[in-house]
Amino acid sequence: MTPRVILPGATVGVLGSGQLGRMFAIAARRMGYRVHTFSPDTDTPTGQVADLEIVAPYEDLDAVRRFAQQVRVVTFEFENVPAATAAAAAEYSCVRPRGEVLHTTQNRLREKNFLATHGFPLVPFREVRSLENLTQGLAEIGPKAILKTAGFGYDGKGQIKIHALTAAEEAWRRMKGQECVLEAWIEFEKEVSVVAVRGADGSFVHYGVVENDHKNHILDFTRAPGRVPAALAEQAVEITRSVLEKLDVVGVLCVEFFVTGSGQLLINELAPRPHNSGHFTFDACVTSQFEQQLRAACGLPLGSTALLRPAAMANLMGDLWDQGEPNWTAALANPDVKLHLYGKMSARPGRKMGHVTAMADTVDAAVEMACAARAMLLQ
């Protein structure tokens, strides 16, 4: 079902209700759209700013169909929505990106096979469905590797490092028979990503290459622009453009890369939605990744991705609440720091509760300001 341009005043639907949906809803409401969100949870980050929060399991396909009948277009804010849910929504409304994109990218094995089939640069990998597959894979790609569940993994969840062949049996036992992907261990220099957008008419825009630092497998901070040579940045953008075209994405997609010591780019993962490493765009770009998601879903022209000033984004994890309410006044003492909180009712270690963005004349100065503001929360 392909709609004409969906103009302001219409209602858009979001499958999922976390912080990505919240920032999407803020962008959509600013442009005059109504927003309905669908998820199993109540009083959610998205639901707090949406016009209507529908609470039902994703597996309740009749509820999904009723939801889809009330909106002009459906998008999603995380890729672990069941493919059957997207298919049910597509019976009554346009879904962007397509459910097939969701199906491919929500499973590491399907994603890697798709990328390999189309010749994209990847870390060597093997499919693992048994202990025999695992031991054979380790023999082929090396005894130092990472075993990952094929489905429903993010922020380092569902991953086990393997350092020797003798560790294979224990690693497989911990996976409890789940379908897995074995990836070779790569000594990389840095991790970068490209957040890009493809419109309904095939137009393409991107936010350049940004550089990411992780802590405990979770994004810690992003610097924009990333510190990479111009030729490598151009190559990363072209790979990203090709991924969006091959997947036939209408919407936002992030490609995460490893950069090896020799300057080679290897795709780590795809995310077919706004991405944590693109949160800086909310403050630092002419058009945020969330507004772009809306524009693409509604068939509108894409906006400018121009970076207004060098920027850095630092995540705020639940650990910051261990000693009580953070010191917001101290963190906001710097007028170039912007605070975003996601409205989550409870803080716990490892949970993304918000982020700060800082802008400065140089990216290094922006990183210093963002990290200093975060540190001030504990004063």
Contact 276, 191 (CB under 8 A): no
Q: Taking residues 219-224, what's their average pLDDT?
A: 97
Q: Does pLDDT of 2 surpass 60? A: no
Q: Does pLDDT of 1 surpass 80? A: no
The string of pLDDT tens digits covering residues 299-321 is 999 999 999 999 999 999 999 99
Q: H helices within the chain, ranges in order? A: 19-30, 61-69, 83-90, 99-105, 108-117, 131-141, 168-175, 230-247, 281-284, 289-297, 328-331, 363-376
pLDDT for res 216: 87
Contact 148, 157 (CB under 8 A): no
Burial class of residue 166 (count of CB atoms within 10 Å of its CB; 0-12, 13-18, 19+):
exposed
pLDDT for res 78: 86
Q: H helices within 156-272, ranges in order? A: 168-175, 230-247
pLDDT for res 152: 64
Domain that holds residue 175: 124-184
pTM for this prediction: 0.95
**324 with 251, same domain?**
yes
The string of pLDDT tens digits covering residues 318-327 is 999 998 999 9
Q: Quickly state the pLDDT bin for 9 (edges 50, 70, 90).
A: very high
The string of pLDDT tens digits covering residues 139-168 is 999 989 999 999 865 555 678 999 988 889
Q: Residue-wise over 362-376: b if at least 16 C-beta within 10 A, else e?
A: ebebbbebbbbbbeb
Nearest to 347 by CA among 368, 370, 377, 376: 377
What CATH number is attached to the domain comprising 86?
Answer: 3.40.50.20
What CATH number is attached to the domain comprising 276?
Answer: 3.30.470.20
Mean pLDDT in the chain?
95
Asked if the structure places residue 119 within a domain, the reply is no
Q: How far apart are CA 294 and CA 196, in angstroms?
A: 13
**263 with 328, same domain?**
yes
The string of pLDDT tens digits covering residues 173-214 is 999 889 999 999 998 999 999 999 999 999 999 999 999 999
pLDDT for res 157: 66
**275 with 301, same domain?**
yes
**179 with 193, same domain?**
no
pLDDT for res 153: 59
pLDDT for res 308: 98
**249 with 164, same domain?**
no
The string of pLDDT tens digits covering residues 71-130 is 999 999 988 899 899 999 999 999 999 999 999 999 999 999 999 999 999 999 999 999
Q: How far apart are CA 50 and CA 77, in angstroms?
A: 14
What CATH number is attached to the domain comprising 155?
Answer: 3.30.1490.20
Q: Taking residues 266-282, what's their average pLDDT?
A: 97
Q: Taking residues 325-334, what's their average pLDDT?
A: 95
Nearest to 220 by CA among 83, 109, 367, 80: 367
Count up the domains in the chain and report the number. 3
Asked if the structure places residue 322 within a domain, the reply is yes
**167 with 237, same domain?**
no
Asked if the structure places residue 109 within a domain, the reply is no
**53 with 133, same domain?**
no
Asked if the structure places residue 29 within a domain, the reply is yes
